[in-house]
Structure 1
Amino acid sequence: MASAHDRAVLQAIFNPTTPFGDIPGLNQEEELIDDDSGFDTELLKQVKELEMQGVSAAEAGDLQAALQLFSQAIQILPQRASAYNNRAQALRLQGNTAGALEDLDQAISLSGDTGRTACQALVQRGLLRRLACQDDGARADFEKAAALGSEFARQQAVVLNPYAALCNKMLSEVINKLRNPEVSGMQ
Structure 2
Amino acid sequence: MASQCQQDVTIHDKAVLDRIFNPSLPYGDVVEEVNQQEEVHEPVATNEMKEAKRLEIAGIQEAEKGEILNSLELFGQAIQIAPNFASAYNNRAQALRLNGDVEGAMHNLNKAIELSDGRGTVACQAYTQRALIRRLEGNDDEAKQDLTRAANLGGHFAKQLLVSMNPYAALCNQMLAEVIIKLRSAESTEETYES
TM range (shorter): 0.7 to 0.9
TM-score, normalised via structure 2 length: 0.72
Q: Which runs of 5+ in 1 are unaligned?
A: 183-187
Q: Which structure shows the bigger proportion of residues in helix conformation?
A: 2
Aligned partner of 1:92 in structure 2 is 97
Tell me the CA shift for residue 173 of structure 1. 7.7
- Determine what percentage of the aligned residue pairs are the same residue: 44
Letter in 2 for 1:150: G
* 1-structure distance, mates of 2:177, 2:98: 41
SS in 2 for 1:18: coil
| Count of matched residue pairs | 170
Query: Paired residue for 1:127?
Result: 132
1:41 is aligned to 2:46: yes
- What letter is aligned with 2:134? R
Which segments of 5 or more consecutive residues in structure 2 lack a partner in the other structure?
1-14, 187-195
**Counterparts of 2:91 and 2:179, CA distance in 1:** 44
User: What corresponds to 2:113 in structure 1?
Assistant: 108
Equivalent residue number for residue 19 of structure 1: 26
Q: Which residue is 1:150 aligned to? A: 155
Q: Is the 8 A contact 2:127 2:147 kept in 1?
A: yes
* Change in CA separation of 1:174 and 1:59 when aligned onto 2, cut-off 3 Å: closer
* Deviation of 1:129 (Å): 0.8
- Does structure 2 retain, via aligned residues, the 8 Å contact 1:28–1:151? no
TM-score, structure 1 normalization: 0.75
Kindly report the root-mean-square deviation, in angstroms, between the aligned alpha carbons of the 2 structures. 3.4
1:91, 1:99 within 8 Å by CA — same for their partners in 2?
yes
Structure with the bigger RCO (C-alpha within 8 Å, sep 6+) is 1
- CA distance in structure 2 between the aligned counterparts of 1:44 and 1:147, rounded to whole angstroms: 28
Residue 66 of structure 2 aligns to a residue in which SS?
coil
| Runs (4+) off by over 6 Å | 4-7
2:12 is aligned to none
Supply the distance in 1 between the matched residues of 2:154 and 2:18 (Cα, whole angstroms). 20
**Mapped partners of 1:6, 1:177: distance in 2:** 26
